Structure 1
Amino acid sequence: MRALPAAATHPALVARAPRTFPVHTVRRGFGIGRLLLAFLGVVALAGYFDYVLGFATFQIANYFSYFTVLSGMAAVVAFVVAAIVAFRHATDPPWLDWFRLLVTTYITVSGIVFLTIVIQSSTRDYTIEVPWSSQLLHFWIPAIALLDWLTDAGKARLPWKILAWILVVPSIWGVFTLIRGSVVGWYPYFFLDPVQVRGPLETAVYCLAALLLFTAIAAVLTATSRLPQPALRREPIAA
């Protein structure tokens, strides 16, 4: 009897084989998306810098006092590094996803806080403009970064102890901003300015709410990293 051809090499079976995308193709897509997101961040930061310089009383040093600007700069670095890793590896090293989680948390909270300030501005007799650069920094980039995090199957499983580190940077920034503000007489956000609040207690309440928000967002992101990740097919694309 003549031996039957192997199933893997049978022409009919090969023709009917489903098209599968290898892991490096998926990761390359994430890498390209992150590079585009980094470019968008640079454009937004430059546009916002040009916008704030239009105010006669504004000083360049104040630009780098905004938490949104600092977290946005860190986000650009995170996007570029994450893109390079995605091009070269099927999964992220834990240290990178620690960094990504911190940055994603910070830019997300910045957007939520800014939206709250815009909404409350109508009750405090002043108007806040939201130029295109500010919309990118506060809303679009955080939203896309969250989507990148939630859909990335290559991220590491992060430990809950990362929540102990999430408040370090905001706390240092807050103390520095309060001290600097008392010296130069300028604060990046109204709830830190003693002139615009009813007293230290109101500032403390706002700061506590922000810290709780940081922790909550980070907890959600950490939880999603611990969910079962969908397996990526490693087979080459069938002809």
Structure 2
Amino acid sequence: MLRLLTAAVCLIALVHRLFWGLSSQTIAGRNFLAYLTVESNIALVVVLVFGGVVALRRANDPRWFSVALSLVLTWTITAGIAFALIVWQAGLRGIRVDVPWSDQVLHFWLPAFTAIVWTLTPGHRAVTWWIVPGCLLFPLAWGGVTMWRGPQIGWYPYYFLDLRQVSGFGEFAVTSGLALAMFALIATVLALISRISPAKVDRAASRREGKLSRSRKAGTATAT
């Protein structure tokens, strides 16, 4: 039920952010779906809805859900960190950046809340290491489309992708490389955290108790 509620909150925030952007009557507002944050949060809604339905029917998550959620969280968390850095840099340059409540929810509160709940809730599965390179596929595809589309419309969702707003290709390459490294780092952390699971602890304790019980039975049989 908590997953379905979280998905509903995410959807409400997305709708608010859409209309807030449209009200600005700017090219950024008209390109709502061009933002990686928006696309990854739409994916988060879909994954949480499926996960909520699964949770109503079984105690433990299937592995595909843990993998899907960890991938989506990698994208949303990294997008939140990038957004925070952009706002911080804008402040240093004296540039005003309006951040509505929906942006705060989508960039900061929802990714953090979902990751914490997923980590602490028994029943999630350990995530395979292939999510580290796998998490880069979506950002690379998104970046390719963005760089192809940007010159045609004269706009980019993030300033560091626009060669007109950076010092040159070198800064663009370094910034993009750091962003990809951040995606990989977040995916690595989530994969590690997925192995520190209450469910795994419970299963390990059950195995130890089972071995102890079998040892006691074997000892009793020998004594008899």
Q: Which range, TM-score by smaller chain? A: 0.7 to 0.9
Preserved contact between residue 48 and residue 134 of structure 1 (Cα < 8 Å) = yes
Counterpart selection for 1:231 from 202, 207, 211: 202
Partner of 1:57: 26
- SS in structure 2 of the partner of residue 231 of structure 1: helix
Q: Which residue of 172, 188, 194 corresponds with 2:157? A: 188
Which of 119, 126, 133 pairs up with 1:157?
A: 126
Over 3 Å counting, the alpha-carbon distance change for 1:55 and 1:61 in structure 2 is closer
Matched residue count: 202
Decide whether the 8 Å contact of 2:22 with 2:30 is kept in 1.
no
Deviations 1:173-211 (A, max 9, x none): 011101100111010011111221111111111111111
Larger radius of gyration: 1
TM, length-normalised to structure 2:
0.85
Q: Following the alignment from structure 2 to structure 1, what is the Cα–Cα distance between the partners of residues 30 and 41?
A: 16
User: Aligned residue for 2:211?
Assistant: none
Mapped partners of 1:220, 1:56: distance in 2: 39
- State the partner residue of 2:140: 171
How far the C-alpha of 1:225 sits from its partner, in A, is: 1.5
Contact 1:153 1:230 in 2 (8 A): no
In 2, the alpha carbon distance for the partners of 1:64 and 1:100 equals 20
Aligned to 1:113: 82
Identify which of 105, 129, 144 aligns with 1:136: 105
CA contact (8 A) 1:52 1:58 kept: no
Structure 1 residues 161, 59: CA separation in 2 closer, same or farther (over 3 Å shift)? closer
Which structure's relative contact order is higher, taking Cα pairs within 8 Å and 6+ residues apart? 1
Answering whether residue 186 of structure 2 is matched by residue 217 of structure 1, we say yes
Look up the equivalent residue of 2:187 and give its one-letter code.
A
Alignment correspondent of 1:44:
13
Instruction: Give the whole-Å Cα distance in 2 for the aligned partners of 1:227 and 1:59.
Output: 41
1:101 to partner: Cα distance = 0.5
Unaligned runs of 5+ in 1: 1-31, 234-239
Deviation at 1:96, TM superposition (A): 1.2
Q: TM-score, normalised by structure 1?
A: 0.80
Deviation at 1:116?
A: 0.3
Whole-angstrom CA distance in 1 between matches of 2:96 and 2:28 = 20
Alpha-carbon separation, structure 1, partners of 2:106 and 2:167: 29
Cα distance in 2 between the residues matched to 1:121 and 1:35: 35
Q: Does 1:98 align with 2:67?
A: yes
C-alpha separation in 1, matches of 2:93 and 2:168: 15
Instruction: Say which SS state the counterpart of residue 64 (structure 1) adopts.
Output: helix
RMSD: 1.7
TM-superposed deviation, 1:81: 0.8
Q: Which has the higher helix share?
A: 2
> What 5-or-longer segments of structure 2 have no aligned partner?
206-224
Residue by residue, what CA displacement relative to the aligned partner does 1:148-179 show, whole Å, maximum 9, x if unpaired? 22112211122212212110000000111011
